[in-house]
Chains A and B, each alone.
Chain A
Amino acid sequence: RKEVEQDPGPFNVPEGATVAFNCTYSNSASQSFFWYRQDCRKEPKLLMSVYSSGNEDGRFTAQLNRASQYISLLIRDSKLSDSATYLCVVFDSFQKLVFGTGTRLLVSP
């Protein structure tokens, strides 16, 4: 079992739609969680950290469920510019960042 698992997608949604991604992690002792965004042929960029209480940044909401060991990312009112690959990242108990393989999002007009 992979330490961090994501649905690769692609998720095809129209502009204005709400879309959600989930990510599961296997190490229950994992400490910190992040969502990164990666555009085609570009470097990963931090989108947001994920806090235990959940957190929101504009149209983006991240939540953590420690009991079920998953994190989620909700995007409201999708824009064309949201098209990218979203990487789930977990800081595990071995002091390493572990990256998921990413979920691809395509927002169409």
Chain B
Amino acid sequence: NAGVTQTPKFRVLKTGQSMTLLCAQDMNHEYMYWYRQDPGMGLRLIHYSVGEGTTAKGEVPDGYNVSRLKKQNFLLGLESAAPSQTSVYFCASSYSNAGQPQHFGDGTRLSIL
């Protein structure tokens, strides 16, 4: 009963390095999302996808890219990491976007030095 799985759980990067965060869901959900959570800011939407092969920008997309080549996977990439991207990243999925609640992965803690 995996639900939404994120890898890795923790990562420390140096400024300028690149990396990819992987999100996988086994609930056959169409919609997938990437959020970041910072103290006092709440969850903010980075990018989202409404189905395989589609992506769209959220509230804070700059510095990130995403891909959804398979329905069950949603990848978040940082091409050139910056200290401002130090955060906790959550992936989520939902069956539809018609006001349906989202199911979250357990997060990736990313530190950029």
**Which positions 97-113 of chain B face chain A at CB distance < 8 Å?**
97, 99, 101-107
Nearest chain B residue, comparing its CB with the CB of A101: B42
Interface residue count on the B side (C-beta < 8 Å): 18
Q: How many pairs of residues, A versus B, come closer than 8 Å at their CB atoms?
A: 38
Contact between B106 and A31, CB atoms less than 8 A apart: no
**Which positions 18-53 of chain B face chain A at CB distance < 8 Å?**
35, 40-45
Looking at chain B's contact residues, the main secondary structure is loop
Interface residue count on the A side (C-beta < 8 Å): 21
Q: Is B90 among interface residues, defined by CB-CB distance under 8 A?
A: yes
CB distance from B51 to the nearest CB of A (A): 14
Residues of B within 8 A of A (CB): 35, 40-45, 58, 90, 97, 99, 101-107
Q: A44-B90, A46-B102 are in contact. List 10 more A-B contacts (CB 8 A).
A: A42-B107, A43-B104, A43-B107, A44-B43, A46-B101, A95-B97, A99-B35, A99-B44, A101-B40, A102-B42
